[in-house]
Structure 1
Amino acid sequence: MATATSRTGDRRISPVFLGIAAVMAVTGWAVWTGFSANPGLAVFLFVTSGWIVSLCLHEYAHARTALHGGDISIGAKGYLTLNPLKYTHALLSIVLPVLFVIMGGIGLPGGAVFIERDRIRGRWKHSLVSAAGPLTNVLFALVCTAPFWLGSLDGVPFGFRFALAFLALLQVTAAILNFLPVPGLDGYGVIEPWLSYKVRRQVEPFAPFGLLAVFALLFVPEINHAFFGLVDTVLHALGVQDAETYCGQQLYRFWQGENVFCGDIVNR
């Protein structure tokens, strides 16, 4: 039987997560103050650590919602500690999403917490468990863009503004991709409880390939244009302009050399 002490330990925030959050805070301060001699490196560390923090919160939201839905095994698996090393597939949830950000500037959905669905009763609860993760990305995007849609950018350094814009872009892409009703993604998990047993059985074999299929389709120029057009539309609605996300991505890729246009703005 689990004791009160063990339950507390199951929910204590991991030092690993606190360390990542500390990196985000320190590098965010460096970007804001211009303390770093290499602003691109500071932006890279700030955005990458912020992206990992959002991935941890995404998985935590799935786990916490599942716990309240009836899966009491969540705590013992370490999912409530926000420790990314506890995930079932750390490669899929942390390593690959970070690599995709570095290589392509897109928020790759992760998937790593193992939820015992048979413990959860009620279709609404199952849908909410799946929706909780991408809704976290939506909330993170709203927080990142708050200075933009609140019109509170006065006094915000351009480098920090650009970093927030790029981090927001990652959150928006992750939310949109995750909410696609494709097997293997959270969007399908939202609607799956409402499908017939026959349909679920027919779709189940395709779940491991859903994400791969989505990314393959993103290489089709027309689909890629439509997808990023939707991303830009959402960001514009949140007050973020194309030039801001562009400069954020250029600063993030500091190893490619400084973009003159963005560098001049940051150094003003």
Structure 2
Amino acid sequence: MVSAIIHEVAHGWVALRCGDTTARDAGRLTLDPRAHLDGFGSVALPLIMAIVGGPVFAFAKPVPYNPNRLAHPRRDELLVALAGPASNLLQALAGTALVALAWDWGVPAVSSGAMAPVAFSWVLRILTTYVSVNLVLCFFNLIPLPPLDGSKAVLFFLMGEARRKYYELQQYAMVLLIVALYVLPTFLGVDPLGAYLDATAGSLFGLLMGLVG
């Protein structure tokens, strides 16, 4: 949820830089969790998914913005959309740097007895999970399916009838996500979303951890 909150603040901050004060006026340019957590998406949904089994994801309340108040609406809407995934990528890189620092400091500390191996293991586990979660958030949100951020990137290249058709797809977005997350893997043994995240977030995670090691 820390990563998701920063993701949403990034949307609002870029919108503000592009001329739209909606997020700022709504009090959403803050890291205070109370301004961002959603009772269903941040708590109930991930608990239900964990109980049912399978993929677990959560979301914070989307930051509001008004595209009509952007200085250059078509371009700036794309920048606002990509700000969220970009913030997760930056968090993953920052987390990787912390993993490297923890490794350089922790290995000698464990060897000298100044730090318990179990404590060192938990520090690494927390930091590597932070990196992994941010990479998954980055690439998951880049999926070109409304209302995910990737859909705004697609809209940037669509005009006229094609753009209208793509807007119509929004009403089926949640159904398509449920099918990709649960129906295909459970009943058909096909997991396109998992394969995509393995090829993107998983591969980049392996590369970053390889650089640390």
Q: Which TM-score band (shorter chain)?
A: 0.7 to 0.9
Q: How far 1:190 moved relative to its partner?
A: 2.3
Q: How far 1:113 moved relative to its partner?
A: 1.4
Q: Kindly tell me: are residues 208 and 64 of structure 1, through their superposed partners in 2, closer, same or farther at Cα, counting changes over 3 Å? A: farther
Q: Which residue of 1 aligns with 2:80?
A: 129
Q: For the aligned residues, what is the CA RMSD? A: 2.9
Contact 1:92 1:111 in 2 (8 A): no
Q: Which residue of 2 aligns with 1:59?
A: 8
Indicate the SS of the match to 1:205.
Answer: helix
Q: Which of 55, 59, 62 is the matching residue for 1:112?
A: 62
Q: Which residue of 2 aligns with 1:79?
A: 28
Give the TM-score normalised by structure 2. Answer: 0.74
Q: How far 1:64 moved relative to its partner?
A: 0.8
1:60-89 CA deviation, whole Å, 9 max, x = no partner? 1101111111212332211112344445x8
Contact 1:55 1:94 in 2 (8 A): no
Percent identical pairs in the alignment equals 24
Q: Which amino acid aligns with 1:168?
A: V
Q: How far 1:98 moved relative to its partner?
A: 5.0
1:10-39 CA deviation, whole Å, 9 max, x = no partner? xxxxxxxxxxxxxxxxxxxxxxxxxxxxxx
Indicate the SS of the match to 1:239.
Answer: helix
Q: Kindly tell me: are residues 147 and 56 of structure 1, through their superposed partners in 2, closer, same or farther at Cα, counting changes over 3 Å? A: closer
Q: Which amino acid aligns with 2:89?
A: V
In structure 1, distance between residues paired with 2:165 and 2:79: 23
| Aligned positions, number | 188
Q: Which residue of 2 aligns with 1:15?
A: none
Contact 2:85 2:141 in 1 (8 A): yes
Contact 2:81 2:149 in 1 (8 A): yes
Q: Which residue of 2 aligns with 1:163?
A: 126
Q: Kindly tell me: are residues 206 and 95 of structure 1, through their superposed partners in 2, closer, same or farther at Cα, counting changes over 3 Å? A: farther
Q: How far 1:159 moved relative to its partner?
A: 1.1
In structure 1, distance between residues paired with 2:40 and 2:163: 24
Q: Which residue of 2 aligns with 1:178?
A: 141
Which deviates the most, 92-101 or 219-228? 92-101
In structure 1, distance between residues paired with 2:128 and 2:56: 13
Which deviates the most, 163-172 or 94-103? 94-103
Contact 2:102 2:124 in 1 (8 A): no
Q: Which residue of 1 aligns with 2:91?
A: 140
In structure 2, distance between residues paired with 1:137 and 1:96: 23
Which stretches in structure 2 are left out of the alignment for 5+ residues?
107-119, 185-189
Aligned residue runs from structure 1 range 2-17, under 5 A = none
Q: Which residue of 2 aligns with 1:229?
A: 198
